[in-house]
Structure 1
Amino acid sequence: MARIGVVGISDGRDHVHARNAEFIQAKQDALVASLRAAGHDVVAGGDLVATNVLATSVAREVAAADVDVTVFYYTVWSFPHFTMLAADATRSPLVLVASTDPTEPGLVGMLAAGGALDQIGRKHTRAWGAPDSPELAAAIGVQATAAAAVKSLRGATFGRFGGRPMGMNTAVANTDQWQRQFGIDVEEIDQYELVLRAEKADAAEARKGREWIEQHAAGVHYDGKKLTPDLLERQIRSYIAVRDIIAERHLDFSGIKGQPELTENFATMDVTEAFLNDPYDWNGPKETHVCATEADMDGALTMQLFKQVARTPVLFADVRHYHADRDIWDLCNSGQHATWYAARSDDPAENLAKVNFYPEVFFFPAGGASVQHIAAPGQMTLGRLTREAGEYRLQMMLGEFESYDDDTNRTLVEQSTPEWPHAFARLDAPGDVFLSKFGANHLHAVPGDHRAELRAVAEQLGVRLDEWTRG
């Protein structure tokens, strides 16, 4: 969870502060306890702010703890200039929180402080309620989760294997803009290094991985041509190679071009990308590593933010087809989907029991396995960062993944590419709106409703929010 700083603001008159200090501290302690109970790491200021000197020193103390967001807490009338000084001493996003206990004018203190911040253009959000209110903790948590996700981008490195795939402009972003706006560096890595490293990768681990997949998957459908044990092991060696490069170059997230060089001359990266995005492999549990197919930079950026907000693997897919008669979308892209989405289980065997490894289709002459499954049903938040006239916008909506009986599933997948993974999605966005306005061919998703956190992410990043709903 996020790290939250809490600074209690008081009245600047000595005799009033002396009267109020115990009241303020009790309220602040209750708020801190509530935030900690919600799972957050909380850093409370060592003193209540009752002088201009303390306004600066306490805020600096909390800022030095590298908090994701800072709460200024108002339980009584508080001198607004203390807020101004404290705000200047911290660079984290600010949440002004007021106690709603009517015995003291906490709301008055918050409104006076918020108005002063408005006058100088310092962005902040506001919340209010009893200090032990779960709703208040949740509201602060939304801002803190968003702030942690945004902060995680600064100083990050994106590894781009290869360049622009198949003329896809939406897969390429301006590296200067990324550095300026998000604080992200881009490490360019030639795909030839991946090939060289894969050829030298540990053959014993590749065999172990193949046998693990054969043991747990619903099926590995060798055909002796496009998919053989040797080709599957080549794909696993590619995973090992990328995994090692990620560790050596300290990459935070990545993307692999794949097409056409690797897909026509070496092997597809489907197995590599699926297991990088998974929370496990044949060696056991591991941290997910966001990896976007076709080296889609804005796709990977979206996925990295979604991962930090939802703390789950993130789906990557093409918007393949709209079944207008059913009002559902077929989200499907080669073998990119993490196997976790087959059942969304902590047990890899439960997920892989629903995953088939099929020979690649004619698009990819080099062959290898496509990682095929139908995504498990459930509520999803879907969206993507796209650009209009060079400016970023977050396009977002809620939806549901659906799954049907075997005959219906088969009928639907056979209308597109049955060898690839599919997610059948019912979106809150009307079909004509989505097709008219969405700014890319790739779409991303995480389980649950994370719209509140992503609205806060957009606000904190200073990007436009395009949120689509029905009605």
Structure 2
Amino acid sequence: MAKIGLLPISDGRDYVRRDVTEHVDRAANQLATVLRDAGHEVVTAPEHVSSNALATSQARWVADQHPDITILHHSVWTFPHFTALAADATPGPLLLVANIDPKFPGMVGMLAGGGALDQIGRTHERAWGDLDDPEVQQRILAKVRAGAAVQGLRGSTFGRIGGRPMGMYTATANTDQWMRTFGVDVEEIDQWEVVRRSEHADQTRVSAARAWLEKHAAGVHYDGGILTPELLERQIRSYYAMRELIDEWNLDFSGIKGQPELTANFCTMDVAEAFLNDPYDWEGPKETHVTSTEADMDAALTMQLLKLLSGDPVLFADVRHYHADKDVWDLCNSGQHATWYAARSSDPAENLRHVNLYPEDFYFPAGGASVHHLAAPGEMTFARLTRQDSEYRMHVMRGGFRTYDEATNKQMMEASSWMWPHAFASLNCTAEEFLSRFGSNHIHAVPGDYVAELRAVCRQLGIRYDGFGDAV
């Protein structure tokens, strides 16, 4: 949840301020209650902003609390230069909120102050309305989530394990551009570190992890060649190697190249990637650690934004196949889908009973287990950061995951790579629009509707929002 700085702004005339102070207090307390009831922490400036000096001093006081987003609250007419001065002293995302009340023209103050910020080029968001209205509350909270996500990126570090995979331009990004646009640094780590460190994983923990998987998964289908207990343990060891790298290098999110070096000569990273993205592993609950396969940088960045917005594990997949008869896409990629998506349950055992560990297919001669399941149905938001002529844009669309009867599900999964995880996605746009415009082979999703938040994220980051279908 976010830490929010709240600056109540008042009128600059003492003879007016005397009569509106109680209203400003009441309105600010109401807004703070809405935010706290949603789980956020609120720090309110000690004094109302009613002079140029207070605009700067109170904004600096709030800034010293290191909020994720600062709200300038306009519940009465406010002098626009107060907004400009406060904004200048406020780093990070900024939201202007106005009450709609014919007796107290906060909306006028917001428009005048917001116009001043437009003129000086200060990026900000706006929200307005009756704070008793649930729709107004949701508009404000969506912008708060967006600001917190943008701020949550800044100062973070991405661990890039390996280089560009198989010539994929869309999997690499300019580290200078990342720091300038998103405030994210990139730590380059060789894949040899996964191999080297995996050898030193504690055998007791590794054996316990394998036993847990054998107990809770729907099946572990050893074949004596491509998938053996030894190879599954090597995959578990790779997971522990990644956890060690994450802790040692203070990585906030990661990507693993995998192909072709590890997948041809060591083992696949499927088990490691799935459980890093999960909110649990065999040792209990944990924070999800966004990890993209093929070290896809813009994938991981998209996923980290979606995680910061939603708090849920984020799906990574190839856009593998389009079933035209059903207008449904098969989103399928080796490993990568968090097992949480099998049932989206808080109980790992409930998810794992839908998960099978199958031997890898011919793409990965080093072998290991593929983490097979079908994503549970539900409404989703799909997104992907891509670049056009080196400029970032955010593809966004609504849709959902669908399932069918057991025979149909099996037939559809067998049409591609059966042993990999699948999600049957219905997108609220045409196949023509999607295939003509989408700028990557990888796509990402979280449960729920986060279109409003992603619009706000794009505005705050200064990148182009590119909606598809009804998310335009």
Give the TM-score, by structure 1 length.
0.98
Residue of structure 2 in register with 1:5 after alignment: 5
Residue of structure 2 in register with 1:421 after alignment: 421
1:112 aligns with 2:107: no
Residue of structure 2 in register with 1:209 after alignment: 209
AA partner of residue 33 (structure 1)? T
Deviation of 1:94 after TM superposition, in Å, equals 2.1
Distance 1:335 1:112 in 2: 52
The equivalences for 1:155-234 within 5 A come to 155-234=155-234
Residue of structure 2 in register with 1:247 after alignment: 247
8 Å CA contact 2:206, 2:237 repeated in 1:
yes
Residue of structure 1 in register with 2:381 after alignment: 381
Residue of structure 1 in register with 2:356 after alignment: 356
8 Å CA contact 1:3, 1:144 repeated in 2:
no
More moved, 155-164 vs 350-359: 155-164
Q: Which runs of 5+ in 1 are unaligned?
A: none
The count of aligned residue pairs is: 471
2:303 counterpart SS class = helix
Deviation of 1:456 after TM superposition, in Å, equals 0.8
Distance 1:114 1:154 in 2: 24
Distance 2:229 2:92 in 1: 52
1:139 counterpart SS class = helix
Distance 2:181 2:34 in 1: 34
Distance 2:182 2:88 in 1: 22
8 Å CA contact 1:34, 1:133 repeated in 2:
no
Deviation of 1:125 after TM superposition, in Å, equals 2.2
1:81 counterpart SS class = helix
Distance 1:145 1:396 in 2: 17
Distance 1:386 1:316 in 2: 15
Give the TM-score, by structure 2 length.
0.98
Residue of structure 2 in register with 1:148 after alignment: 148
1:200 counterpart SS class = coil
8 Å CA contact 1:381, 1:449 repeated in 2:
yes
Deviation of 1:141 after TM superposition, in Å, equals 1.4
The equivalences for 1:57-456 within 5 A come to 57-456=57-456
1:24 aligns with 2:24: yes
Distance 1:34 1:193 in 2: 47
More moved, 118-127 vs 167-176: 118-127
Distance 2:204 2:310 in 1: 35
8 Å CA contact 2:339, 2:351 repeated in 1:
yes
Distance 1:238 1:94 in 2: 42
AA partner of residue 126 (structure 2)? R
Distance 1:324 1:146 in 2: 35
8 Å CA contact 2:76, 2:106 repeated in 1:
yes
Deviation of 1:461 after TM superposition, in Å, equals 0.9
Residue of structure 2 in register with 1:34 after alignment: 34
Distance 1:452 1:412 in 2: 33
Distance 2:200 2:121 in 1: 56
Distance 2:127 2:335 in 1: 44
Deviation of 1:121 after TM superposition, in Å, equals 2.2
1:7 counterpart SS class = strand
More moved, 345-354 vs 41-50: 41-50
Distance 1:13 1:434 in 2: 56
2:8 counterpart SS class = strand
Distance 1:77 1:185 in 2: 42
8 Å CA contact 2:93, 2:150 repeated in 1:
no
Deviations, residues 192-249 of structure 1 (Å, cap 9, x unaligned): 1110111111111111000000000000000000001111011000101111111011
Distance 1:195 1:69 in 2: 41
Alignment root-mean-square deviation, CA? 1.2
| Structure 1 runs of 4+ with >6 Å offset | none
Distance 1:364 1:119 in 2: 56
8 Å CA contact 1:34, 1:134 repeated in 2:
no
More moved, 153-162 vs 306-315: 153-162
Q: State the percentage of identical aligned residues.
A: 64
2:317 counterpart SS class = strand
Distance 1:413 1:404 in 2: 11
8 Å CA contact 1:69, 1:143 repeated in 2:
no
Deviation of 1:344 after TM superposition, in Å, equals 0.4
